Structure 1
Amino acid sequence: MTVEDVAADAVEEVVVDGDDVTDTTEVPAPVEDARIERALEAILMVADEPMSVVTLATAVGAPVKRVRAAIEALVADFDGEDGGVRRGFELREVGGGWRVYVREEFDAVVSGYVLQQNPTKLSQAALETLAVIAYKQPISRGAIASIRAVNVDSVVRTLLGRGLITELFTDSETGAINYGTTDLLLTQLGINSIDELPKISPLLSDGADGFDGDVR
């Protein structure tokens, strides 16, 4: 993208009239104070990455201080404090943001359910994404999408549900989750280590060797 393209995109966000500049960026309508906890819960339920307090505050149109208090209330609610029922999921702070996770005690139950609900065979898109992760791990979802040139959110969720990949760590600077393969994949492939994966650079038409050198 050229400098001119970037400038054009920026200009589209404002309307210039003489010396006045009016920001036309669409701002979410503020959520009623009494509904902020439930609104945050809804957002966190569909989030694929940890959500920072600032991002959440922007989403619901509320002050950061109010959102922090709401998050504390949600954590207590999910944990069943004050006589409530403990949920099967929890709200956890990771990588500078908040995300909903299945409680560890129910991991086996959820994994078993997901495996029963999904067909045995992986789609071509899932196989290609799995290959990228296997050869380039640890790798973030954004980097995977860049390599495949398509959105990989649903495919990554499928691979996580199958237990073939796992979240290795969260980048402290970007907040991006980095993924890697699991022992289950090694078992399915019949190998003892990811290092036993075949070299693929000789099979590439352009002779590129970007994958082979990064296998852990």
Structure 2
Amino acid sequence: MKKYILLLLLVSQTSCQSQDKNTTFLVVDKPVVMETKDGLEIATLAGGCFWCTEAVFLELEGVKKVVSGYIGGILENPTYKDIGTGTTGHAEAIQITFDPKVISFGELLEIFFATHDPTTLNRQGNDIGTQYRSEIFYYNDQQKEISEDYIDLMTSEKTFTKPIVTRISPASKFYEAEEYHQNYYNLNKTQSYCSYVITPKIEKLKKNYKSRLKK
């Protein structure tokens, strides 16, 4: 696995919706099967409010589509209001369709770990609750192995001063979030959360990963 120099991007901290109560996560033995066309692949990542993660990955060359949604919980067809209680077990996540000939799964992980804090349990900034946990949902053994190796590498190189708490789990069913959550940042840049939290994150992404961005 290629060794990357990781740049931790610091972000401002406000809140999306925050609850933290007793939660039961959904546990599956095997990941769901995702069929794609034209050699494209799927990655599903949770790293805090999906408005932020979606905005980041939409900027990357080789990323064809990003969908915000919910995964890892016990309730079928959850709504934003449901997962906001912090009791359904779902994480706010994004499902990324990407071209591995242009950007690899490992490179997606590089951006993922550089644009959120994987050392805070069930929290990103002021967004608190299990729905804001750091988690990688893998679809095959290769994604699982790359994820494990990547975290082992960062741990051995002491990329972060605190232990990494990112979970690695087989992907369960992904539920697409309500329409108003999709492409949220680009449609709501003047909204306060976007201005104070997401815009600085995007600016640092563009500064540190200029060669990875869409032309």
TM-score (norm 2): 0.23
> Which structure has the bigger radius of gyration?
1
TM-score (norm 1): 0.23
